Structure 1
Amino acid sequence: MSWNRIALTLFIAFSFSTVVGYAKEFMKISEDELIIRGILYDEYKAYENSYQVYKRLYDVTGAEIYLFKEATSALMSRTHILESITRLKTWDEKNPNRLEVRRLLIPLYLTIRQVKNATIEAEYLLEQSKEPMDLDLASNSFLYAGNFKRALELLSRVYETLPREELLLRMTEIMDEFTGERRKAIQLLETHRRMNIVSHDVYIKLLTLYQKEKNIDGILETYKALYIQDNDEQYLTKVIDAYVYKRDIDGAIAFLEKYPSRDDILYDLYKANRYFSKALLLVDKLYAKDKNSKWIAEKGVLLFENSEDKNDKKMIEDVISHFEKAIELGNDDSIYLNYYGYTLIDKEVNVKKGISVIENALIQQPDNMYYLDSLAWGYYKVRDCDKAYKLMKRVVDEEGLEEDEIIEHWDAIKQCK
């Protein structure tokens, strides 16, 4: 901070701490010094003090600029409002039709909730001026008065000349809350968004309106625009959630293929839609990124699911080798243990080993019905029909007979018993 700034700060502090002395000396201070004090008080937002300074200056000089500054300080400090209104009205009687008076009287009246008087002044202002700033100012009176259509009409005229974001947000708030024009508000926001670089406030407002309209497509497109603009994963998550809500997995896949950033999500979506050949192209890339043995096991799953001939011996050997490699690298996820064990059992590669693998999976999830189904199928294959039946009955009692594989196993095991 420069010495001048330090001196000014000390001057202000001293002035505030010597109010009584200041009042006594006030009448002796020269016009030039009063002007300097007024500027300093304004700079430090000491509006009560600046009000007193400008009031004294106007009383001494009669210069209109000091009257207007006095009223502005009163407005900023929210004090002496009625006195400022009276002084402005007195001046206005001698100097009629001055825009500055209207521009000050409107917010002064609104500050003390004299809305009717504010609207009268607003009408006077509109008769004298079509400037955007005056239309904007006048609109506040009609808004306070509950004349939302009139306020919106004025703001729309301002927006046509000055298409500012802040103004648009005020308009759309009125349209949403008071004039029943929510869809028109959405159209205005969308048009503005497509023609300008906008802040997050516009997107947030759009999301709010789309949610009120229960317009999932609008929500989706807004989150897509946010993600494309910011590349923020929180928006990508919202995009995927919206696609899933719409049950449009292909749409989510197309978006992630166009904006590749989350190959892991894309991979899951490929699997969900049984696009196993596409998933196979991606799984090696995922493994190269993090060297997680999970992807080796996943490739084993994909090789089997993508095969047209599920009994192809070469394919089955390849699948088993991928599971064994993943296990060697430390992957003991029960999902893969179950898939591996069931393959050993169902394809009769090594049924006893398959049973052992499934039992290890059940240590992790002892009540998993799919794992119990696999174990029952293993016991069936070694002709231990009693164990197979007890396990399979538990599965059927829990899951019912909705899935083809459960029906097939249940019928076979009942005959075995």
Structure 2
Amino acid sequence: MSWNRIVLFFITVFFFHTGAVQAKELRVLSEDELIIQGLLYEEYRAFDRSRYVFGQLYDTTGAKVYLFKEMTASLFSKTNIDESIKRLKIWDEKHPDTLEVKRLLIPLYLTANRVGEAKTEAEHLLERSNKAMDMELASNPFLYTGEFKRALDLLSKVYEKTSNEDVLLRMVVIMDEYTNERIKAIQLLETHRHMNIVSNDVYFTLLSLYVKENNVDGLLRIYKILYDQDKDEKYLNKIIDAYAYKRDIDGAIVFLEKNKTGERILYELYKRKKLFDKAFNLIDSLYAEKKDPRWLAEKGVLLFEKSEDKNDKKMIKEVISYFEKAIDLGVDDSIYLNYYGYTLIDKEVDVKKGIKIIENALKQQPHNTYYLDSLAWGYYKENKCKKAYEMMKKVVDEEGLDEKEIIEHWELIQKCK
């Protein structure tokens, strides 16, 4: 509260205290004193008290301004509604062409649940006025009675005059839930957002409608706009979800590259598309972020995958170096253990060490057929044919012979003696 308002408050309190003493003697306050009292009650939202004060002022002076303030306070406080209607109707009978009365009677009747009378007053108001504010007010009784087409027609005229967002959102609710015009509602919102600066309410409403229509492209478009506004990660995740639903990995990659964001997601997408060079180039910045040694293991994987010559000894040595650094720094994820162990076995760098690493991976996932295949291949490399056969048969029984590598291993192990 500012100093001016503090001073005003104490002056007002003093004034009322003095007035109360005088009222005991004279039993009456002046018009100016009552006005100040009513406005103070109004400011502090004591609407029932302000209604009483302005009612006194109207009874004393007959000035319509006090009557209308009394009615407004009655609406805000939701008290003495029927009495207020009676008092306002008396004025209406004497001044039948006063539009302000119609504007007050409609919400008073609706508050009293006298919808039929509210609709009658709405019709009278529409006969005398085509102002946007009056058409919007007059639409309310028709909404109460379920005459949605009539209400929508009035609100449409209001929107044509004003381009008011709140009016449009009311229209959209009616069109979506009551008049079966959801597609038209979407078109209106899309046109509105292209031609106006809009609040997030418009975007959230569009999202809701696009979900109902299962329109993924629409969702994607709106989430991109929302993300562009404040870079909130929740919108980024929704965008990636939409691309995933569309199975459009290329689109997701283009979006992430353009916005220079979501490096972790982008890395996984690069791997899925086998864009190993691009993925490899991201690793250094990802590792620098938190020094997570997992990225060293990833570097080993990608270095091997992107190499044209899979038997390049220099490359294999570098791959092994990355895995050893990662493991020394605490990486024990079975996925990396299997990859590292299989590399040692398949490239015959150190088969015994490779088997031991695969066995550690199997402690985490004992029934993983990829790891069992690696172990069987290790036994084959050591010429332990029976153990290799028994292990590989488990893999074939579980996975079948659909993968090229399983077929190659199975054929060779069957020939092992």
TM-score calculated relative to the size of structure 2: 0.92
Secondary structure of the corresponding residue to residue 380 of structure 1: helix
Paired position in structure 2 for 1:394: 394
Question: What's the offset of the Cα at 1:399?
Answer: 2.7
Distance 1:92 1:370, change over 3 A: same
Question: What's the offset of the Cα at 1:263?
Answer: 1.0
* 1:5 partner letter: F
* 2:273 partner letter: N
Aligned pairs for 1:175-194 (under 5 A) are 175-194=175-194
Paired position in structure 2 for 1:284: 284
User: What's the CA shift string for 1:163-206, capped at 9, x where partnerless?
Assistant: 22222211111111111111111112222223333322222211
Paired position in structure 2 for 1:261: 261
Task: Give, in whole Å, the separation in 2 of the partners of 1:27 and 1:133.
Answer: 42
Paired position in structure 2 for 1:248: 248
Task: Give, in whole Å, the separation in 2 of the partners of 1:383 and 1:328.
Answer: 30
Asked if the contact 2:23/2:29 (under 8 Å) is kept, the reply is: no
Aligned counterpart in structure 2 of residue 5 of structure 1, from 6, 9, 23:
9
Question: What's the offset of the Cα at 1:12?
Answer: 8.4
User: What's the CA shift string for 1:138-160, capped at 9, x where partnerless?
Assistant: 11121112111121121122222
Task: Give, in whole Å, the separation in 1 of the partners of 2:57 and 2:151.
Answer: 37
User: What's the CA shift string for 1:282-339, capped at 9, x where partnerless?
Assistant: 2223223333222222122112212223233333233222222323333232211211
Task: Give, in whole Å, the separation in 1 of the partners of 2:211 and 2:54.
Answer: 51
Task: Give, in whole Å, the separation in 2 of the partners of 1:244 and 1:288.
Answer: 28
Task: Give, in whole Å, the separation in 1 of the partners of 2:36 and 2:47.
Answer: 14
Paired position in structure 2 for 1:94: 94
Task: Give, in whole Å, the separation in 2 of the partners of 1:42 and 1:197.
Answer: 34
Deviates more, 1:42-51 or 1:361-370: 361-370
Secondary structure of the corresponding residue to residue 241 of structure 1: helix
Question: What's the offset of the Cα at 1:99?
Answer: 0.7
User: What's the CA shift string for 1:20-39, capped at 9, x where partnerless?
Assistant: x9999996222222212111
Distance 1:13 1:321, change over 3 A: farther
Paired position in structure 1 for 2:302: 302
User: What's the CA shift string for 1:210-268, capped at 9, x where partnerless?
Assistant: 11111111111111111111100111011111111111111111110011122111001
Distance 1:47 1:10, change over 3 A: farther
Paired position in structure 1 for 2:366: 366
* 1:259 partner letter: N
Paired position in structure 1 for 2:70: 70
Paired position in structure 1 for 2:36: 36
What is the alpha-carbon root mean square deviation over aligned residues? 2.5
Unaligned runs of 5+ in 2: none
Distance 1:141 1:84, change over 3 A: same
Asked if the contact 2:42/2:50 (under 8 Å) is kept, the reply is: yes
Deviates more, 1:175-184 or 1:73-82: 73-82
Distance 1:10 1:137, change over 3 A: farther
Paired position in structure 1 for 2:125: 125
Q: How many residues align?
A: 413
Task: Give, in whole Å, the separation in 1 of the partners of 2:309 and 2:350.
Answer: 20
Question: What's the offset of the Cα at 1:384?
Answer: 0.7
* 2:314 partner letter: K
Task: Give, in whole Å, the separation in 2 of the partners of 1:297 and 1:157.
Answer: 65
Task: Give, in whole Å, the separation in 2 of the partners of 1:252 and 1:392.
Answer: 39
Question: What's the offset of the Cα at 1:100?
Answer: 0.5
Aligned pairs for 1:6-405 (under 5 A) are 6=10, 8=12, 28-405=28-405
Secondary structure of the corresponding residue to residue 179 of structure 2: coil
Question: What's the offset of the Cα at 1:7?
Answer: 5.7
TM-score calculated relative to the size of structure 1: 0.92
Task: Give, in whole Å, the separation in 2 of the partners of 1:204 and 1:91.
Answer: 45
* 2:8 partner letter: N
Unaligned runs of 5+ in 1: none
* 2:409 partner letter: H
The percent identity for this pair of structures is 65
Task: Give, in whole Å, the separation in 1 of the partners of 2:192 and 2:375.
Answer: 62
Secondary structure of the corresponding residue to residue 416 of structure 1: coil
Distance 1:23 1:345, change over 3 A: farther
Task: Give, in whole Å, the separation in 1 of the partners of 2:25 and 2:221.
Answer: 66
Deviates more, 1:315-324 or 1:216-225: 315-324
Question: What's the offset of the Cα at 1:408?
Answer: 2.1
Deviates more, 1:264-273 or 1:56-65: 56-65
Question: What's the offset of the Cα at 1:14?
Answer: 12
Task: Give, in whole Å, the separation in 2 of the partners of 1:413 and 1:392.
Answer: 8
Distance 1:176 1:277, change over 3 A: same
